[in-house]
Chain A
Amino acid sequence: MHELNVPLFLLALFPLLWIMNAPVNVLLFGITRDITGQTAIRHSLPPNARVSDLLAQLHGQYPRLAEIRALLVAVNGEYADPDQELKSTDEIALIPPVSGG
């Protein structure tokens, strides 16, 4: 099988790569769904990445996010500060300006 030909040292790197780029799941609502065309995105972050890092990367990936008046991030159901660190187990959501009521 093809997989058996992978050198062992590369296999040893996989856990490291996983830690370096632990993907987070980002829930999308409202206008952010329309802009990305998705209800959630998987996004890889470096270790100790903060909310502001995630926003900067997503703005690079989806430039039209800049059209939104103000974009906040919620972590585990609470509004998060820009300097809050993110873990791969966090439930992360983009919160465009709310308009309930």
Chain B
Amino acid sequence: MIALTSDPIDLGSAYKYMQADGAGAIDFFLGVVRDNTQERPVDRLEYEAYDRMAISEMQKIVDEAHRRWPILKCLVVHRTGLLRIGEMAVLIGVSTPHRGDAFEATRYIIDTIKQTVPIWKKEIFTNGEVWVNATP
């Protein structure tokens, strides 16, 4: 399942979704909002997505993960909008028969999302704001 949502992500329902009889491992990656960037205090983050393309690019990543690893269930949910410190911005879930594949696939999915999916993060400080990675 792949989704963008402006609502808080519910880990409990995600865990229920990830269960599979053949699964010996369920891995989750939670990307959460940190209170600083390069020692500068962050007040909150704002995420913006090009929705249709973000979904299709995430689908490509999940399809590739399915080709590489024996995945039973896979979940990718990304937040949009304003997020406060500690809130979950992204949740990746992978269930596989054995743990090694789940670890590798989860890492592949989050690392590739950061490279190709059209979602943008603005860091908002008490005295300014900056689009992450946008300028040199």
Contacts and interface: CB of A to CB of B under 8 A. Distances in A.
A98 B120 contact: yes
Interface stretch (A6-14, A28-36, A47-55): A28-36
B105 interface: no
A97 B131 CA distance: 9
B135 A100 contact: no
B34 to A, nearest CB: 12
For chain A, give the interface size range. Answer: 10 to 19
Contacts of A27: 50
A98 B133 contact: yes
A30 B89 contact: no
Interface of A is mostly: loop
- The secondary-structure label for the interface of chain B is mixed
Interface in A65-101: 67-69, 74, 77-78, 93, 95-101
A30 B136 contact: no
A67 B136 CA distance: 8
B48 interface: yes
Contact of A31 (B53, B54, B134): B134
Contacts of B120: 29-31, 96, 98-100
Interface size class of B (residues with CB under 8 A): 20 to 34
Contacts of B50: 27, 29, 74, 93, 95
Contacts of B110: 101
Contact of A30 (B90, B116, B117, B131): B131
A74 B118 contact: yes
A96 B120 CA distance: 8
A65 B28 CA distance: 38
Given A29-B120, A77-B52, A93-B50, A101 B31 contact: yes
Given A27-B50, A74-B53, A100 B134 contact: no
Residue picked from B89, B113, B120, most chain A C-beta under 10 Å: B120
Nearest to B117: A100
Cβ-closest 9 pairs across A and B: A100-B119, A30-B120, A99-B132, A31-B134, A31-B131, A99-B121, A97-B133, A101-B114, A77-B53
Interface of B: 31, 47-50, 52-54, 56, 78, 89-90, 110, 113-122, 131-136
